[in-house]
Structure 1
Amino acid sequence: MSALGKEVVEVLARRRAGGPLSITVDEVDKILSGLGVPLGGTKAVPVPLRATRMYFSGTKWLKPDHPDAHGHALVDVADLPEWIRPVVDKRSAGAVSAGHGEASEVDEQAGPRARVPFHFEWSPQPGVNGIGSGRNLRGKSTLLNVLMWSLTGRCPQFQNDVRSWIEHVEVDWKVGVERLRVEFDAVDGVAAGQVIRIMEADSDARSTVLGQFDGADFEGVMGSLMMTRLRLENIPVWTDTAARVHAWPAYSSSFVVRANQLDPIVGNEQTIGLRMMQMFIGTDWAPVQAAAMTARRGMDTARDAAKDKAQAAGEAVEASRRAAEKQVQDVRTKIGKLPAETPDMQLVLDAATRASDLAREVHKLEAKLIAQTSLAGTARQQLKAVKARVHTSYEDALAARFFHHMRPSVCPRCAAQVTPERQAAEPDKHECSVCTSELNLKALQSDVIVAASVPDELVAGLVARTSGSDGEDPDAEEGPLDEVEAAQAAVAAAEAAVAELTAEIATLTTERDEAAARVEVGSALLSAASERRVLELDLARAEGALGALTRSSDPATVDPVDPVHLAVVEAAEQVLKKWVKNDQDPMLVQISADIERLTQSFGADNLSGFALSGGANMTLRENGVKQTYSGLTAGEKLRVKIATAIALIQHGYVEGIGRHPGFLVLDSPSAEEMPEEDLATMVRALRDVAGEAEMQIFVATRNAAPLVDLLPQANRVVAEGNAYVW
């Protein structure tokens, strides 16, 4: 039975107003263990971490005119290894990366390069170690990057050329009393090597391989080796959707303070600043509290997800219900628009038969009408011809009468005079008074003047046509008149037949259209009846769906969390919060005082009244006015962040508790509004603190003078003027 389990049982019992609770301490322990919550706190004892030796080597590929290229063999870019050729091809060797000259333009032209081998070796000391140069970009950051590369297993952000230059790295670390060497070969930032433990006995040194890596597994190897040796525990946290465990990358990143990364106040991971502070302070129950809070947040997330799912399901049911209601209403509306009558199929069939018969009859009559119309046209043409012929005969008779009774006085051709004597001699001489032709005596008796040479049938016609001029009735000529009347009678009969057929067709057409209309109405009613049956089936289905949705209740929320488990973990979180606070608050008072003292010793004497809270928030006074860490300037934040890191290290050293290994890297602190005298004050204060507490601090800065003045030769690597650090 655990102490935590006992306290949880008591808390649960009090929540039940003193009533009995059917859960035991063993059951609580089992629940907590199942949720990943440790049952006991762990004593945090700091394990020192120190870098004792640093070595790296490789090859620089420099342009021939570079100062460091003199005396070295030239190699054409085409002859370089393939993996380095693009880097050399596209970057001038004079480009400043982590420390070799001013930045230059891209050099796209291939050409010879000087092959300049290099190596660097240094043995950092306990306390404060300085890395400085007279100018920026002289290789200071490269040393820190190589150091952290070997510690974290993650390649830092080298410049491309420097990353490609480094070919071999060896860094010796002292972890507590154990000596480890991290050695690896690198190809353009990809490391392959091993971690060995070096044991010295008398004058002999033996080594044991602890882990090997090749590329991406470097970080995992370092994490597994360092977490256990430094007695660091995983930091579980709950993100938006899942639990996440922070381990070696989060811890190792907190060992570095950079001027461009000042939030949060502890470490460099904003989401775990609180947890990182608790781990470094060293309260026994801090890791357990983190695990309990993570478990509870996981349950809350599961509950919220279940509620959201149920709500979404309820909204889906309601949407389906509304859709079903609309569908029922739409179908009813469609049914209401249909005619209510039911068609008489026999009447519809009779009407269809009648319409078909009438259509055939109309077709036959139309054929007769076409033929009769043609006959009427022919009769009219014949009547017209008879009339024309009769008219011509009548005109001929009139002309004959006219011309044969003429007594011309002049020849119509030669204009010679026709004398009266010649005209009077016609009956006696039997000659035409105009042309002197012999006359037909028989015709002359009828007063028809015609030459004897004219055929008899023509003479008879002329006599007949001219005889009417003597006052006889024209109606006596029955022949022509009978022919016209007969033609007119034929036309009238034909037109009467056409009219009769037209009237009969019109009557039958009307009857046919009426029958067809009755068929169309019946068909429409039949179609409507069929549609009604389909819609009535649709209505039945829609009403059934609506009835099912109406009877069903909204989906209930199924709680995915065991309420007993939730009650246990909430009670555990409450207990652990109190225990951590009770252990932590007195420590925070002392740590806050140390932060104030250190910050003021770094030159920020306008800041006072520091109070580091259990939530990893900082309040203070700036010139007597209330202020927070987030409201400080970048330079003030830098001083306070460094002071906080050192105060945590001091706390672990003095109290013998905590988890900070006492290893700290300060990268370019003078970059944030820190004049040289303030940097000197900080270095002096750091040196004094390192003398009081066991720690190793690396300071990289462009202001090299304070390092030279305040640090021993063995504790510094300084390049003065335009020189390079390596």
Structure 2
Amino acid sequence: MSTPTYDTLTVSAADLLAEVAEDLEISRDAVETALATVNIGVHTPVVSDRRLRLVRLVVVGEKKSGQAFTVDRRFDSGVWAIVHPENSAGKTSLLEFLVLPMRGASRDLPKDVRSWVRHLLLDSVVAGRPVRISIDASSGWERRVHATIRTADSEDELLNSPDEQLRLLAEAVGLGEVEQMIGQFMLDTLRMQRTQLWSSSGGADGDGAPSVHGWAAYFGACYLNHGGDQLLLGDVNAPGLPGKLMELFVDLPYSSTLAEVAVAEKREARTAKQQKRRAEGDAAARASERAVW
């Protein structure tokens, strides 16, 4: 992902709020108050470093046959490709070994292949910060998988130091907890927010409901789908999400705020629709009672 740049023409939050207030012929304070009632804050965009660069992958494990294996690969600058003339040679597995620590969970790694892995280590540079994500599955993947996120002062220190000599930032035990920890770390470090999108058929009554998407959905912009896949970007099937992933690359100012406003507007419309339906139902019930009497 490239580092976005804004020119001096980027509208500040103050100017944006003032323009909205002028269009609506109300005060700026009234605009801010209305947004605050639905928990929306408007802030001037700050340039974010959203580069993510892989440095080293280490995988240690043992196949079901008892054959031990080790992968230790450095990634220097340039374009890398995983190529083998045969099918079922492990190309996708190698890719998924990279995906698992970056995303917090694999996308297409078979459980039997995952069970081979005892230890997985990924050194990377996230938003300019040297980061190591280590996953220990020596006690099993389902319950006792343990992961840590550590950092160093430099890339050289990261590459040449064991885990215990690096600064611990976070740790978690269990598949769900590990995925949540990595996802939150990536969002915080890359200065990204969870995004809300409206699902018109969501909710218990089918009148629509917001859906919240975090790092797992954003990661789809880093890992493109197969050519025959029905989704343009990502692996989460949600209306409007591919567009949000495209905005991730250009860091479109106020895109998250716009999404929040759109969700709030549709939520208010749903509430009004439900209130009208209840009022009509109550009126019909009262009319029926009067007819009986």
Judge same fold: TM > 0.5, yes or no. yes
Partners of 1:278 and 1:159 in 2: CA distance: 31
- How far residue 261 of structure 1 moved from its aligned partner, in angstroms, is 5.8
Deviations 1:660-680 (A, max 9, x none): xxxxxxxxxxxxxxxxxxxxx
Given that residues 234 and 246 in structure 1 are in contact (C-alpha distance below 8 angstroms), is that contact kept between their aligned partners in structure 2?
yes
Partners of 1:125 and 1:202 in 2: CA distance: 13
- How far residue 214 of structure 1 moved from its aligned partner, in angstroms, is 0.8
Number of the residue aligned with 2:177: 217
| Unmatched tracts of structure 1, length 5 or more | 14-22, 63-114, 325-545, 547-726
Number of the residue aligned with 1:132: 83
Which residues of 2 match residues 253-332 of structure 1 at below 5 A?
253-259=220-226, 262-269=229-236, 270-271=238-239, 272-322=241-291, 324=292
Given that residues 2 and 29 in structure 1 are in contact (C-alpha distance below 8 angstroms), is that contact kept between their aligned partners in structure 2?
no
Aligned to 1:183, which of 134, 139, 153? 134
Partners of 1:282 and 1:155 in 2: CA distance: 26
Q: 1:183 to 1:247 in 2, by over 3 A?
A: same
Given that residues 253 and 268 in structure 1 are in contact (C-alpha distance below 8 angstroms), is that contact kept between their aligned partners in structure 2?
yes
Number of the residue aligned with 2:56: 53
Deviations 1:519-574 (A, max 9, x none): xxxxxxxxxxxxxxxxxxxxxxxxxxx2xxxxxxxxxxxxxxxxxxxxxxxxxxxx
| Unmatched tracts of structure 2, length 5 or more | 1-12, 203-207
Given that residues 163 and 188 in structure 1 are in contact (C-alpha distance below 8 angstroms), is that contact kept between their aligned partners in structure 2?
no
Aligned to 1:27, which of 10, 27, 30? 30
- How far residue 140 of structure 1 moved from its aligned partner, in angstroms, is 0.7
Given that residues 193 and 212 in structure 1 are in contact (C-alpha distance below 8 angstroms), is that contact kept between their aligned partners in structure 2?
yes
Partners of 1:56 and 1:144 in 2: CA distance: 12
Which residues of 2 match residues 324-723 of structure 1 at below 5 A?
324=292, 546=293
Q: What is the identity, as a one-letter code, of the residue corresponding to 2:150? A: I
Given that residues 43 and 284 in structure 1 are in contact (C-alpha distance below 8 angstroms), is that contact kept between their aligned partners in structure 2?
no
Aligned to 1:168, which of 96, 113, 119? 119
Number of the residue aligned with 1:197: 151
Q: 1:263 to 1:161 in 2, by over 3 A?
A: closer
Deviations 1:87-131 (A, max 9, x none): xxxxxxxxxxxxxxxxxxxxxxxxxxxx22221111123331111
Partners of 2:252 and 2:64 in 1: CA distance: 52
Aligned to 1:3, which of 15, 21, 24? 15
Number of the residue aligned with 1:228: 188
Which residues of 2 match residues 52-91 of structure 1 at below 5 A?
52-62=55-65
Partners of 1:181 and 1:261 in 2: CA distance: 34
Partners of 1:35 and 1:159 in 2: CA distance: 42
Partners of 2:245 and 2:251 in 1: CA distance: 10
Partners of 2:192 and 2:270 in 1: CA distance: 28
Given that residues 279 and 287 in structure 1 are in contact (C-alpha distance below 8 angstroms), is that contact kept between their aligned partners in structure 2?
no
Number of the residue aligned with 2:209: 242
Partners of 2:270 and 2:155 in 1: CA distance: 56
Partners of 1:253 and 1:193 in 2: CA distance: 22
Deviations 1:129-184 (A, max 9, x none): 11111211011111111111101111444334312211111111111321111111
Number of the residue aligned with 1:207: 166
Partners of 1:162 and 1:285 in 2: CA distance: 42
Q: 1:292 to 1:149 in 2, by over 3 A?
A: same
Partners of 1:165 and 1:4 in 2: CA distance: 54
Partners of 1:310 and 1:260 in 2: CA distance: 50
- Structure 1 or 2, whichever has the larger Rg, is 1
SS of the aligned residue for 1:128 comes to: coil
Given that residues 58 and 165 in structure 1 are in contact (C-alpha distance below 8 angstroms), is that contact kept between their aligned partners in structure 2?
yes
1:118 aligns with 2:84: no
SS of the aligned residue for 1:257 comes to: coil
Give the aligned CA root-mean-square deviation in angstroms: 2.4
Q: What is the identity, as a one-letter code, of the residue corresponding to 1:5? A: L
Partners of 2:290 and 2:244 in 1: CA distance: 50
Q: What is the identity, as a one-letter code, of the residue corresponding to 2:255? A: A
Q: What is the identity, as a one-letter code, of the residue corresponding to 1:247? A: G
Partners of 1:156 and 1:238 in 2: CA distance: 24
SS of the aligned residue for 1:313 comes to: helix
Given that residues 225 and 234 in structure 2 are in contact (C-alpha distance below 8 angstroms), is that contact kept between their aligned partners in structure 1?
no
TM-score of the superposed pair, with normalisation by structure 2: 0.81
Number of the residue aligned with 1:415: none
SS of the aligned residue for 2:23 comes to: helix
Given that residues 254 and 268 in structure 1 are in contact (C-alpha distance below 8 angstroms), is that contact kept between their aligned partners in structure 2?
no
SS of the aligned residue for 1:182 comes to: strand
Deviations 1:410-454 (A, max 9, x none): xxxxxxxxxxxxxxxxxxxxxxxxxxxxxxxxxxxxxxxxxxxxx
- How far residue 210 of structure 1 moved from its aligned partner, in angstroms, is 0.8
Partners of 1:212 and 1:244 in 2: CA distance: 27
Given that residues 171 and 182 in structure 1 are in contact (C-alpha distance below 8 angstroms), is that contact kept between their aligned partners in structure 2?
yes
Deviations 1:163-222 (A, max 9, x none): 221111111111132111111112553431211112249978551111101111111111
Deviations 1:230-278 (A, max 9, x none): 2222212222333232111111122111216644434444421222223
Given that residues 130 and 153 in structure 2 are in contact (C-alpha distance below 8 angstroms), is that contact kept between their aligned partners in structure 1?
yes
Partners of 1:221 and 1:53 in 2: CA distance: 21
Percent identity for Structure 1 against Structure 2:
23
Partners of 1:184 and 1:42 in 2: CA distance: 35
SS of the aligned residue for 1:2 comes to: helix
SS of the aligned residue for 2:64 comes to: strand
Q: 1:185 to 1:28 in 2, by over 3 A?
A: same
Partners of 2:58 and 2:22 in 1: CA distance: 58
Partners of 1:201 and 1:229 in 2: CA distance: 17
How many positions carry a matched residue from both structures? 263
Partners of 2:37 and 2:16 in 1: CA distance: 15
Given that residues 221 and 246 in structure 2 are in contact (C-alpha distance below 8 angstroms), is that contact kept between their aligned partners in structure 1?
no
Partners of 1:260 and 1:136 in 2: CA distance: 17
Number of the residue aligned with 1:336: none
- How far residue 39 of structure 1 moved from its aligned partner, in angstroms, is 1.9
Structure with the greater relative contact order (CA < 8 A, sep ≥ 6): 1 or 2?
A: 1
Deviations 1:18-63 (A, max 9, x none): xxxxx5322321221232222234144442101111011111222x
Q: 1:289 to 1:261 in 2, by over 3 A?
A: farther
Q: 1:176 to 1:275 in 2, by over 3 A?
A: closer
Q: 1:43 to 1:202 in 2, by over 3 A?
A: closer
Q: 1:307 to 1:153 in 2, by over 3 A?
A: same
Deviations 1:383-424 (A, max 9, x none): xxxxxxxxxxxxxxxxxxxxxxxxxxxxxxxxxxxxxxxxxx
